[in-house]
A and B are shown apart, each in its own frame.
Chain A
Amino acid sequence: MAAKFILQVLTANRLGDGEAVWWSADRRWSETLAGSEIAHDADAAAALEAIGKAAHAANLVVDVNLIDVELADGVIVPLRLREKIRAAGPTIRPDLGKQARPAAARAA
Chain B
Amino acid sequence: MYRYDEFDRDFVNARVAEFSDQARRRLRGEISEDQFRPLRLMNGVYLQLHAYMLRIAVPYGTLSSRQMRMLAYIARTYDKGYGHFTTRQNLQFNWPALSDIPAVLADLATVEMHAIQTSGNCIRNVTADHFAGAAADEVADPRPYAEILRQWSSVHPEFSYLPRKFKIAVTGAEHDRAAIQVHDIGLHLKKNAAGELGFAVYVGGGQGRTPMIAKKIRDFLPERDLLAYTTAILRVYNLHGRRDNKYKARIKILVHETGTEELTAWVEKEFAELRDTELALPAEDVKKIEAYFAPPALADRPEGWGALAAAQRADEAFSAWVRRNVTPHRHPDYACVTISLKGIGEVPGDATDAQMDAVADIAEELAFDEIRVSHEQNLVLPHVARADLKAVYDRLVAIRLETANAGLVTDIIACPGLDYCALANARSISVAQDISIRLGDQKRQEEIGELKIKISGCINACGHHHVGHIGILGVEKKGDELYQVTLGGSGDEVTSIGDIVGRGFTAAEIGGAIETVVDTYLGLRAAKDETFLQAYRRVGLAPFKEALYGSEAKAA
Complex alpha-carbon distance, A17 and B188, angstroms: 43
* Residues of chain B lying within 8 A (CB to CB) of residue A17: 51-52, 97-99
Given A15-B27, A20-B50, also A90-B420 (CB < 8 A): yes
Contact B479 A80 (CB under 8 A): yes
From A15, A56, A91, A96, give the contact of B80 (CB < 8 A). A96
Does chain A have a CB within 8 A of B418?
yes
Complex alpha-carbon distance, A16 and B27, angstroms: 6
* Residues of chain A lying within 8 A (CB to CB) of residue B97: 16-18
Binds B, one of A22-30, A37-45, A46-54, A81-89: A81-89
**Band of interface residues on B:** 20 to 34
Contact A79 B419 (CB under 8 A): no
* Residues of chain B lying within 8 A (CB to CB) of residue A85: 49, 418-419
From A16, A59, A62, A86, give the contact of B49 (CB < 8 A). A86
Does chain B have a CB within 8 A of A72?
no
Does chain A have a CB within 8 A of B430?
yes
Complex alpha-carbon distance, A86 and B480, angstroms: 16
Does chain A have a CB within 8 A of B394?
no
Given A17-B52, A81-B418, A82-B424, also A92-B99 (CB < 8 A): no
* Residues of chain B lying within 8 A (CB to CB) of residue A19: 50-51
* Residues of chain B lying within 8 A (CB to CB) of residue A91: 419, 427, 430
Interface string of B45-64 (1 = CB under 8 A from A): 00111111000000000000
Contact B419 A18 (CB under 8 A): no
Given A16-B99, A56-B33, also A81-B480 (CB < 8 A): yes
* Residues of chain B lying within 8 A (CB to CB) of residue A81: 418, 426, 476, 479-481
* Residues of chain A lying within 8 A (CB to CB) of residue B192: none
Contact A16 B429 (CB under 8 A): no
* Residues of chain B lying within 8 A (CB to CB) of residue A82: 49, 418, 424
Complex alpha-carbon distance, A64 and B49, angstroms: 12
Given A18-B98, A81-B418, also A90-B50 (CB < 8 A): yes
Q: Please give me the residue from chain A that is nearest to B432 by CB atom.
A: A92
CB distance from B1 to the nearest CB of A (A): 33
Does chain A have a CB within 8 A of B185?
no
In the assembled complex, 11 residue pairs joining A and B whose CB atoms fall closer than 8 Å, in A order, are: A15-B26, A18-B47, A18-B51, A18-B97, A20-B50, A79-B479, A82-B418, A85-B49, A85-B418, A91-B427, A91-B430
By a beta-carbon cutoff of 8 Å, the part of chain A in contact with chain B is 13, 15-20, 56-59, 62-63, 79-82, 85-86, 89-93, 96-97
By a beta-carbon cutoff of 8 Å, the part of chain B in contact with chain A is 26-27, 29, 32-33, 47-52, 80, 95, 97-99, 347, 418-420, 422, 424, 426-427, 429-430, 433, 476, 479-481
Q: Beyond the given A81-B480, A90-B429, A92-B427, please list 9 additional residue pairs across the A-B interface where CB-CB is below 8 A.
A: A16-B99, A18-B50, A79-B479, A90-B50, A90-B419, A91-B430, A93-B347, A93-B419, A96-B95
